């Protein structure tokens, strides 16, 4: 069976990756809108309504405009929005199939799926299970930090790192950003974990193209029931048992580290997310490592598309 796919915003960072991954799949026919007509609403409407699946790789406002082009009687075309426009919208399903017991089926039945943000993906994979299980209370004062490769900033940031003949000294080191503490991923991070308050989130961009680690520190003394790193690792292992793309790493992760370091790039070019638990009786550190362009963007989008179209979830995706 052949599926017709339209990538709206095909030339952006996420759109290019989706196009690259789908172009080698024989059962996928990519509908390519002529460059000169890609901003004409009537032409775009034709492509959207002719597709089985539409990826929206656009700014928020443009994503909303494209969704409005769906004919009222069209219940066949499925949307996957990679923008932030619909991630907390009640009519859209959040595209993290591994989230709780019923999310995969909700994705399967949905006509509209919001693809998670990259930072949010790691944070939610770490916190949502613990909040749902009562290990972390909803009013816990959560903080999180995340380091990402510069590809997460899109074409403009990629150019700022890759085009200069000599990179400015300030850009050679990791750089904190979104210091107003109002990052665009915060609403979905709070909504999908069930936290009573948004976490204090500090993202960091590094001088490397892709890869990501999201970290969440926990203090057992502030939890309703004291838990150890072993307890948390075992809980994650049970929660994610059987998942293809989420791998809970052994508690003794020393053999998996690079001389004691946790590089952000080990999952690059895959759709795999690795969950680590570090610490001791007084302090616990959770970490999720994945490719910000894979499980954090295009890979997650294609995983959801596979589920929605009824094909094997892992088709076209490296583990």
| Mean pLDDT of the residues in the chain | 97
**The one catalytic residue among 57, 118, 267, 304:** 118
**Per-residue confidence (pLDDT) for residue 300, from 0 to 100:** 98
267 is known as an active-site residue: no
- Helix (H, G, I), strand (E, B), or coil: what is residue 6? strand
Beta bridge partners of 216: 286
Which residue, 70, 235, 206, is CA-closest to 147?
206
- Residue 1 scores a pLDDT above 90: no
pLDDT at 36: 87
Write 234-243 long-range contacts (CB < 8 A, 24+).
235/129, 235/130, 235/133, 235/135, 236/129, 236/275, 236/277, 239/129, 239/133, 240/98, 240/129, 240/275, 243/98
Phi, psi of 113 (to 5 degrees): -120, 130
pTM summary value: 0.96
Question: What percent of the chain has pLDDT above 90?
Answer: 97
Q: What is the DSSP letter of 283?
A: -
What is the Cα–Cα distance from 103 to 100, expressed in whole angstroms? 6
The tens digit of pLDDT for each residue in 212-249 reads 999 999 999 999 999 999 999 999 999 999 999 999 99
**For strand 53-56 and strand 78-81, is the pairing parallel, antiparallel, or unpaired?**
parallel
Could you give the CA distance from residue 196 to residue 190 in angstroms, rounded to a whole number? 7
Distance from C-alpha of 34 to C-alpha of 311, rounded to nearest angstrom: 29
C-beta separation of 272 from 317 below 8 A: no
pLDDT tens digits for range 51-75: 999 999 999 999 999 999 999 999 9
Please state, in angstroms and rounded to a whole number, the distance separating the CA atoms of residues 140 and 77.
41
More confident residue, 44 or 101: 44
Q: What is the three-class DSSP state of 130?
A: helix
Select from 89, 146, 149 the least CA-distant residue to 120.
146
- Report whether pLDDT(35) > 90: no
Half-sphere exposure of 204 (CA within 13 A, CB side): 16
| pLDDT score at 292 | 98
Share of the chain above pLDDT 70, in %: 100
Q: What pLDDT score does 39 carry?
A: 83
CA distances from 250 to 9, 125, 151, 170, 255 (A): 40, 17, 29, 37, 10
Segment 264-274 mean pLDDT: 98
């Amino acid at each position: 069976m052949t599926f017709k796919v339209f990538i709206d915003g095909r030339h952006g960072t996420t759109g290019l990756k989706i196009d690259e991954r789908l172009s080698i799949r024989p059962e996928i026919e990519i509908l390519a809108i002529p460059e000169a007509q890609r901003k004409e609403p009537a032409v775009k409407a034709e492509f959207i309504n002719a597709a089985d699946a539409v990826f929206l790789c656009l700014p928020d406002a443009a994503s909303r405009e494209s969704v409005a082009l769906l004919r009222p009687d069209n219940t066949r075309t499925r949307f996957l929005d990679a923008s932030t426009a619909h991630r907390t919208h009640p009519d859209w399903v959040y595209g993290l199939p591994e989230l709780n017991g019923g999310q995969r089926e909700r994705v399967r039945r949905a006509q509209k799926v919001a693809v998670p943000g990259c930072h949010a993906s790691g944070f939610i994979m770490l916190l949502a299970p613990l909040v749902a299980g009562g290990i972390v209370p909803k009013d816990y004062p959560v903080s999180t930090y995340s380091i990402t490769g510069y590809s997460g900033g899109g074409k403009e940031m990629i150019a700022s790192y890759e085009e200069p003949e000599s990179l400015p000294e300030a850009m050679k080191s990791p750089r904190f950003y979104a210091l107003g503490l109002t990052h665009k991923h915060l609403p979905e991070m709070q909504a999908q974990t069930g936290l009573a308050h948004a976490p204090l989130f500090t993202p960091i961009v590094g001088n490397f193209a892709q890869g990501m680690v999201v970290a969440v520190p926990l203090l057992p003394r502030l939890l309703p029931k004291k838990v150890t790193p072993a307890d948390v690792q075992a809980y994650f292992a049970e929660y994610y048992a059987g998942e293809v793309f989420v791998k809970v790493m052994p508690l003794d992760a020393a053999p998996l580290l690079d001389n004691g370091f946790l590089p952000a790039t080990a999952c690059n070019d895959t759709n795999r997310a690795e969950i680590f638990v570090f610490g001791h009786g007084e302090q616990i550190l959770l970490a999720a490592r994945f490719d910000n362009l894979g499980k954090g963007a295009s890979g997650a989008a294609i995983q959801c598309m596979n589920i929605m179209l009824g094909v094997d979830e892992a088709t076209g995706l490296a583990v």
